[in-house]
A = this chain, B = another copy of it.
C-alpha cells in the first residue's frame, strides 16, 4: 500500500453525496409515469395494433389520438387537477383508454367493479369524492344512483369527437394516479392509493417477467377494474404489444379468442383457469405457439398447474394484493426445472416465489417456520384514501406492508403461502392450513375446486369443513373424498363434512369464504 493520504483530495466531491438530503435530478430527467409508455409506443409503434375490441381495431397512433380527445373531453366537462374520475365499464377500449385519458387530463382514475350493487357504487363514489362518473352504456342503471355527474360512453365520445387532442403537460410523478377500492370481504371497501411512479415501475416489472414484446398479444381475461389489471394496461403498451378486449369471462369466448387473435399472454385467477382447463372445449385445439399465463389471487393447486401445462400453456405464478399494484411476488422460472416431470414442475410453480425484479424486500415475520409475508417496495400503495387508521394498521412501524398471508420459505428462497392468517383452522390446538386440505381434495380427478373453512366445534375448538365443486362429469361421494384426503395428509386435517355445490365467488374469482363460514 502506498503511503499517500487517503483524504488528501476529498474537497471538491464532498458536496456530491452529502447528508443534506437534497434531491438531485439531471437536466434531462423525465417523469416516471405510465403515460410515458403510450408516448413511446406512439412514437415507435404508431402503426402496430394497440387494441382490438370486438370488430374494432386501433393502432397506437389511433389509440393515442383517442386518449387525447377523451382527455380533452374530461377537461371540457370541467375536470380539475386531482379530481377523481370513476369509470364503470367492462374490459373495453374505453376502459383501456381511461387508464391514460384520466391521468392525462390531470385526474385520478377510480375504476369500479362492475359487479358491485348500486349501493356499493354510491358508497365508493361518495367516499372517493369523485367529480365525474363515466360508464359503459349498458351500465347506466348501476351508475344512476351515484351522487355525481354521470356521462355515458356515447355522450363522452360525441363530445370528444369535436375536440382537439389534449397535449401532455408536466405532472408530479409522486402524485396520485388511481384509487382502487378493495372488494373487502368484511367491512367497508378501502381505497388503495396508486402513484404514477409506483405504477410505472410495476408495469415495467410485469413487462419483464411476462416477457412482453412488440409481437405479443394480450387477452384481457383479468378485469381492468381489479388492481388496474395488475398494471397490464400500461405494461402491454410499454412493450408495444396488442391488447385484446374481453368484456366477459367465458370459457368458450376465451378459447375462441386465443385461436382467433393468436394470443400469446393472459392473466387469470386459478378459478378461471379451472373453468378453462376442464371445459369440454379444452384440448380440442392445441396452440402452436407458447401462451404465457400469469395466475394469482389465490394459490393454484398443483393438479390445475399440471393440467394447464398438459394443454400447452406456460404458467407463471404471481402473488400480490390490491395494495401492491397486483403481483409484487413472482415465481421466477429456474432453468434446472426444465429437467423435471410435469408433476415435479407443478409442485415448484405452486409456490408464490419472491420479490419481482423491481420490488423491495420480502420477509416472513412472526413464528419461526410459518410467518406473515411482509413486503417493501415502490409498488406498495401510498396508503388507504382518507383512512389513516386502516393505513397505520396495514404497515409495521418500520414500514413493511403486512399482507395478512401466512407462508413458509423453502431453502431456495421461494415462499409458499399456507393461508390467510384468518383462514387457519385451529383444531385440538393444532394448526390446519385450509390450502393444504384444499389441494389434497383438488387432487381427486372428479373435483373442479374446493374451499375449506373452519366450523366451531365444542370438542375440538374448530374443525375443517369442505365445500366442493365437481367437474361437469365428476362423481364422488363425501366418504370417498374424505378417504382420499386421509391417504394424502395427516388424518386430523381431513374435513369433517363435505358439501357439494357451486362456490360463491367475488368478481375476480376469489372464493368468498366468509359466506361459506356462515353456511357450515
Contact = CB atoms under 8 A, between A and B. Distances in A.
Contact of A376 (B14, B30, B129): B30
Given A26-B382, A128-B13, A131-B7, A360 B36 contact: yes
Contacts of A413: 43-46
A39 B83 contact: no
A306 to B, nearest CB: 22
Contact of A43 (B204, B238, B361): B361
Nearest to A148: B4
A215 B334 contact: yes
A28 interface: yes
A77 interface: yes
Contact of A83 (B10, B357, B378, B385): B10
A32 interface: yes
B131 A29 contact: no
A320 to B, nearest CB: 13
B80 A18 contact: no
A26 to B, nearest CB: 4
Nearest to A377: B30
A284 interface: no
A333 interface: yes
Contacts of A11: 129
Contact of A26 (B7, B195, B335, B386): B195
Contacts of A211: 211
A375 interface: yes
Given A83-B13, A386-B12, A26 B198 contact: yes
A271 B382 CA distance: 49
Interface string A322-362: 00000000001111000000000000000001110111111
Contact of A7 (B40, B48, B80): B80
Contacts of A28: 360, 375-377, 380, 395, 399-401
Contacts of A117: none
A498 interface: no
A433 interface: no
A381 B26 CA distance: 6
A49 B88 CA distance: 49
Nearest to A177: B17
Contact of A204 (B108, B129, B358): B358
A509 interface: no
Contacts of A412: 44, 46-47
A430 interface: no
Nearest to A394: B27
A432 interface: no
Given A28-B376, A30-B361, 12 more contacts: A17-B82, A17-B106, A28-B400, A29-B378, A29-B380, A36-B360, A43-B362, A44-B355, A45-B334, A204-B357, A204-B358, A207-B208
27 contacts: A2-B144, A2-B150, A7-B80, A8-B148, A9-B148, A10-B80, A10-B129, A11-B129, A12-B386, A13-B82, A13-B83, A16-B82, A16-B175, A23-B23, A25-B174, A25-B382, A26-B198, A26-B380, A26-B381, A27-B401, A37-B357, A40-B359, A43-B355, A44-B413, A44-B414, A46-B412, A214-B332
